[in-house]
Amino acid sequence: MTRHTDTFLVSFLKRLRKGMLENFSVTGMTRHIPHRGFTLLVAVVLSSVALAIGLSLLGISYKQVLLASAAKQSQNAFYAADSVLECVLYFDQQMDAF
């Protein structure tokens, strides 16, 4: 191994023993403290966007369920009225009731 590699490994092992490698970077032994809150900001923004999309889809789905339920009830009412008219027509033709 080269002298540079040996120096790097010795320095790495010393820091590892001391517990100084919390934010170790392979490109260099630097800590990136100024960018520490940026990841949290991105995570919060992306979570907010995903939550907004999910809630809007939930609202659309709920409205669709309500409309489908109303359409089913309307169809049932139409068929009930049609059945009554058929009964009246049958009794009128058979018994000359009306």
Per-residue pLDDT reduced to its tens digit, 49-81: 999 999 999 999 999 999 999 999 999 999 999
Query: How many whole angstroms separate alpha carbon 79 and alpha carbon 74?
Result: 9
- In angstroms, the CA 98 to CA 86 distance is 14
Nearby residues of 70 by Cβ (< 8 Å), 6 or more positions away: none
Amino acid code (one letter) for 80: A
pLDDT tens column, 16-31: 677 665 555 555 555 5
Half-sphere exposure for 49 (CA within 13 Å, toward CB): 6
> Nearest to residue 8, comparing CAs of 22, 31, 32, 25?
25
Global pTM reads 0.46
Say which residues have a Cβ less than 8 Å from residue 31's Cβ, sequence separation at least 6: 22, 23, 25
Name the residue with higher pLDDT: 46 or 12.
Answer: 46
